[in-house]
């Protein structure tokens, strides 16, 4: 299914409403990915506090931590279906307000959870429950945020506006990495493990309140208002929507897998497999996320001019070809720190080529009547399988095989599959106003 599903897609010509929608949609993505980044960066600390009873190994605890990580991702499709259905029926604005409240409460509570030493086996269950709530809220966030951004976008600017979703993902991951790096610098290892790890989660509360204020001021999108005025809105057949969801998930699976491998799993991999320090791992992660952030907006803008297909294909092909050589540079003890820094920067940058046009590409696959649900499910399913399981698959496979090349193989194979799905995209440039 290469062409978008046809449907009404009216846009506002009022720039202030478009900018307000861009900010209100972006802020939830920032908080969501800030938290997921923090969880990934502190995976080894969380493993020791919640998943390591006396006698348990560090590797086993890390695997359990990533299992909890993966579980949250598998609840994303549930959230996408639940909140997406509401968003396609009652509106984008009220559902995005519900989502930000749930996300903020669940993340803040992680910062006050008792650890295994305090409540025993109840600790990992409480953490996992909050991760499930986060998964539900995250599942409802993407579809609504991208719907708002692209439905408010001026003609010919969907790629640019949609790219802000991915850009705020990069900002969120960078924010999480920055907070983690700051804490690792000013606190001792003991302080970080005892209570310092809680601070990044508690910071979500003021951020969430600010996001809630912005969303309370958000207008409903013109596309949805137009749909609501129709007496009997036309909805495409369920089978057609399901095919579009599956194809959309395939088109972004490389983005999902490579993104999480290079941007989130990297710190724990460097520590557990290459004996890097916590600070070294965080520096590498910051550089990767900087590379990611640098290319996202230009990639989205370029896709408005030449089409989504060539830009996303370039990113997927580059990851397929470069993943193993880039990882080998990190593994080589003779490689200078400057070259290693350049390698992780490039790794992030090529993922940004897929992430920039990706949101607009998904949005254009679905009409207004099912857009929140359709693009949200495509994104959530792909992320559940290929992002949420990245840490678990990579850590467990390295443990079983002893091969430290697993992260590169994982990113390369998934991007290779995405290449074939992306080839179904239309070849012609996206026309302004389409």
Hey, CA dihedral for 283, 391, 117, 31, is it positive or negative?
Answer: positive
Assess if residue 284 is contained within a domain: yes
Residue 132 belongs to a domain: yes
Q: Let me know the angle formed at the C-alpha of 220 by 219 and 223, rounded to the nearest 5 degrees.
A: 135
CA atoms lying within 13 Å on the CB side of residue 146: 39
Q: Number of structural domains, the chain? A: 1
- The answer to the question of residue 250 being in a domain is yes
Q: Is residue 164 part of a domain?
A: yes
Whole-model pTM? 0.83
Q: How far is CA 176 from CA 74, 109, 128, 182, 213, in A?
A: 22, 17, 20, 10, 22
Do the beta carbons of residue 268 and residue 326 sit within 8 Å?
A: no
CB 391 within 8 A of CB 260: yes
Widest Cα–Cα separation across the chain: 69
- Which among 119, 163, 128 has a CA at the least distance from the CA of 145? 163
Residue with structure tokens 């209100």?
24
Identify the CATH number of the domain in which residue 285 sits: 1.20.1250.20
- Residue 228 CB coordination number (10 Å): 13
22-61 residue pLDDT tens: 999 899 889 988 887 787 777 778 877 887 665 455 666 6
Q: Which domain holds residue 294?
A: 15-226+236-422
Question: What is the Cα Rg of the chain in Å?
Answer: 21
| 256 lies in some domain | yes
Q: Where are the alpha helices (DSSP H) in 217-277?
A: 222-229, 238-260, 266-274
What does the pLDDT profile of the chain (434 residues) look like in tens digits?
A: 444 444 444 444 467 888 888 999 899 889 988 887 787 777 778 877 887 665 455 666 666 666 666 677 789 899 999 999 999 999 999 999 999 999 999 999 999 999 888 888 888 888 889 988 988 998 999 999 999 999 999 888 999 999 999 999 889 888 887 888 888 889 888 888 889 989 999 999 999 999 999 999 998 999 898 888 876 767 888 889 999 999 999 999 999 999 888 887 776 677 767 777 777 777 887 888 899 999 999 999 999 999 999 999 999 999 999 999 988 888 887 878 788 888 889 999 999 999 999 999 999 999 999 999 999 999 999 988 887 777 778 878 888 888 888 888 999 999 999 999 999 987 543 333 34
Is residue 3 situated within a structural domain? no
d(CA 420, CA 336): 36
Q: What is the pLDDT of residues 106-163, one digit of tens each?
A: 999 999 999 888 888 888 888 889 988 988 998 999 999 999 999 999 888 999 999 9
């Amino acid at each position: 299914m290469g062409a978008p599903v046809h449907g009404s897609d009216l846009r506002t010509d009022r720039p202030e409403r478009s900018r307000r929608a861009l900010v209100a949609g972006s802020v939830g993505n920032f908080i969501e990915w800030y938290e997921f980044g923090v969880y990934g960066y502190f995976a080894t600390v969380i493993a020791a506090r919640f998943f390591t009873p006396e006698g348990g190994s560090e590797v086993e605890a890390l695997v359990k931590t990533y299992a909890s990580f993966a579980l949250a991702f598998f609840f994303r499709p549930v959230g996408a279906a639940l909140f997406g259905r509401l968003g396609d029926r009652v509106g984008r604005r009220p559902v995005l307000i519900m989502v930000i409240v749930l996300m903020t409460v669940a993340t803040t509570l992680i910062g006050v959870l008792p650890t295994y030493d305090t409540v025993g086996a109840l600790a990992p269950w409480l953490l996992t429950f909050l991760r499930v709530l986060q998964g539900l809220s995250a599942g409802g966030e993407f579809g609504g945020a991208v719907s708002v951004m692209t439905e408010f976008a001026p003609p010919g600017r969907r790629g640019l506006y949609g790219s802000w979703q991915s850009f705020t993902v990069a900002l969120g991951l960078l924010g999480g990495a920055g907070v983690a790096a700051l804490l690792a610098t000013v606190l001792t290892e003991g302080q970080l493990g005892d209570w310092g790890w809680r601070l990044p989660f508690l910071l979500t509360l003021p951020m969430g309140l600010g996001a809630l204020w912005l969303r309370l001021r958000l207008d409903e999108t013109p596309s949805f208002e137009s749909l609501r005025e129709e007496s009997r809105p036309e909805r495409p057949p369920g089978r057609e929507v399901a095919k579009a969801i599956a194809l959309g998930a395939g088109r972004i699976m490389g983005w999902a897998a490579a993104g999480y491998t290079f941007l989130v799993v990297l710190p724990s991999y460097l520590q557990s497999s290459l004996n890097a320090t916590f600070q070294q791992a965080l520096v590498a992660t910051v550089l990767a996320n900087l590379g990611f952030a640098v290319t996202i907006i230009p990639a989205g803008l370029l896709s408005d001019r030449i089409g989504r297909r060539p830009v996303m294909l370039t990113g997927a092909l580059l990851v397929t070809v470069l993943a193993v050589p880039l990882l080998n540079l990190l593994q080589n003890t003779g490689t200078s720190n400057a070259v290693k820094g350049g390698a992780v920067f490039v790794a992030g940058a090529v993922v940004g080529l897929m992430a920039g046009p990706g949101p607009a590409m998904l949005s254009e696959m679905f009409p207004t009547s099912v857009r929140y649900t359709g693009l949200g499910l495509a994104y959530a399913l792909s992320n559940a399988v290929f992002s949420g399981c990245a840490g678990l698959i990579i850590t467990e496979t390295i443990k079983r095989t002893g091969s430290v090349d697993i992260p590169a193989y994982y990113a390369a194979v998934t991007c290779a599959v995405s290449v074939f799905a992306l080839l179904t995209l239309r070849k012609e440039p996206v026309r302004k106003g389409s």
